Structure 1
Amino acid sequence: MTWTIISIILISLLKILVTCLPTGPVEWLIRKFETHSKLGDENITLSIDGRRLEGEDKTKVINDFNEAIFLKKHYIFPGTEELYLNPENSDSPIVIETKRGNKDVKLFVYRYKDRVDVVKQFKKKLVAYSLMSESLQKYSIRKI
């Protein structure tokens, strides 16, 4: 009888702990699986047409990227990866090279008049999604 009560109490405590996680672990789990993750200013290399961006321009592009609104994720069918990495009707991309934990991540940001497409490449995986950012779209038209 005692073991039954102790096991019920332990299972109840475990259930409460799992269903009501503190904010810290919940935010960590969300950050781990989010598609459009925020970029920091450190350990990032930005380039357009092979020309590196530094200083104010770099900070502005990073802030605009972080403030962009996620629209949708695109499914990449096997064999069509090259179409996402080199789209036909786009300007030259902003290439962002950064590190996420132990992984090197390369982001290709393609700007259009109505949206911004991002192709995230890490290891041998590609993830493509669209963003809405007027300032990032206007930046490409003004600066390049």
Structure 2
Amino acid sequence: MRRRADSLVLAFSWLTVLPVRGPEDVDRDSAGRAIAFTPLVGLTLGGISAALLWVSIAAGLSPLLGGLIAVGASALLTRGMHLDGLADTADGLGCYGPPERAREVMKSGSAGPFGVATIALVLAVQAASLGQLAHQQLWWAIAVVPV
């Protein structure tokens, strides 16, 4: 039972900014057990997004604005982990150079114009989609999206 609890805490410590402290020693087996808990982490993050969106709309904000708040909170709660990779990929694909140049651009650590534009577009689409799901009262779908 202790190993499951450690694995769950490890999954939250890897995938979120929530103030949990994972185990000190992480080996291949404990990492594998932690990965098995990632859907639960996603469901928790989705629940937080759904709650923020519901509160935003209940407070009189538009579904789109509530969606922007929910998407922004999700980015903060996950350290923007996937956004960074998305920006790097877009910059690499947009550099119009040979594969070596694309890899160099993707490793640079800075966000270029293609990365910034891609992130803005993706966040806008996510916010609009969450707002539309909220408008249709599909709260369960909002909670499941990150899974």
* TM-score interval for Structure 1 and Structure 2 normalised by the shorter chain: under 0.3
Higher relative contact order (CA 8 A, sep 6+): 2
TM-score, L = length of structure 2: 0.21
Kindly name which structure, 1 or 2, has the bigger radius of gyration based on alpha carbons.
Answer: 1
Report the structure, 1 or 2, having the larger strand content: 1
